[in-house]
Amino acid sequence: MSSTLSISLSVNGEMHQALVSGRDTLLTVLRDQLHLTGTKRGCNQGVCGACTVLVNGTAFRSCLSIAALCEKSEITTVEGLNKNGEMAPVQLAFAKLGAVQCGFCTSGMMMAAHAFLAENTNPTVEETQIGLSGNLCRCSGYKKIIDAVIEAGRLTSTGETLR
C-alpha cells in the first residue's frame, strides 16, 4: 500500500491539483490526471525524448521526472507553447516546413527545440543537430526537422510570423 500526496503543479501557466505517490512521474500526471496528452509516452527510460517538457524553461524528460519534485516549478507542455491563440515560432515552422511524419516525436522535438532556441536563435545545422540529439524520430532523416528549427530561430529573432 503506497501513500499519496496532494500537490499543486503550475502547468502552462495554470495551477492544477494532483494526487500522487512518491514514484509517480510527471508524464503520468500530465497525461492521466491533467489530460495533457500532447506529451507522449515513448520508451519510459528517458532515451527517446517523446516525453520532453520544459521545467522552468529547461528541457526535461517527464518520464524520468518525479511529479512531487516538480511542485514548485513552472511546467510547459506542447499545449502551452501557443499564446493567445498564436502558435509559437517552432510550431509555425514545423507546420509550414512539413517537419512531421507520423507525428509521435513532434511534441518532444518542439519542446527540445523551443528550449534550445531560447539559448541560440541563430544556430548552425551542426549546433541544431547537437541541440536535438536527445530526441529520436523513427520516421524521418531529420532534414525537415533541422530546417524547421533553424527557421523557428529566425522567426524568434526577427519576430516574424509565417504566412
Helix, strand and coil content of the chain, in percent to the nearest 5, comes to: 35, 20, 45
Res 155 pLDDT > 80: yes
CATH 3.30.420.40 fits 89-158, yes or no: no
pLDDT in tens, 26-57: 999 999 999 999 999 999 999 999 999 999 99
CA 145, 151, 157, 158 torsion: positive or negative?
A: negative
Domains of the chain by residue range: 4-77, 89-158
Phi, psi angles (nearest 5°) of residue 122? -130, 60
Q: Report whether 59 contacts 113 (CB < 8 A).
A: no
pLDDT tens digits, 125-138: 999 999 999 999 98
Fold matches, 4-77 and 89-158: no
Distance between CA atoms of 158 and 154, rounded to whole angstroms?
6
Give the helix/strand (H/E) hosting 145. Answer: helix 143-158
pLDDT tens readout for residues 83-119 = 888 999 999 999 999 998 888 999 999 999 999 999 9
Q: Which three cell numbers stand for residue 32?
A: 492521466
pTM above 0.85, yes or no: yes
Neighbours of 144 (CB within 10 A): 17
- In which band, very low, low, confident or very high, does the pLDDT at 142 lie, cut at 50, 70 and 90? very high
Q: What is the per-residue pLDDT for 161?
A: 64
What's the confidence (pLDDT) of residue 158?
81
Would you say residue 24 has pLDDT above 80? Answer: yes
Fold classified for 4-77: Ubiquitin-like (UB roll) (3.10.20)
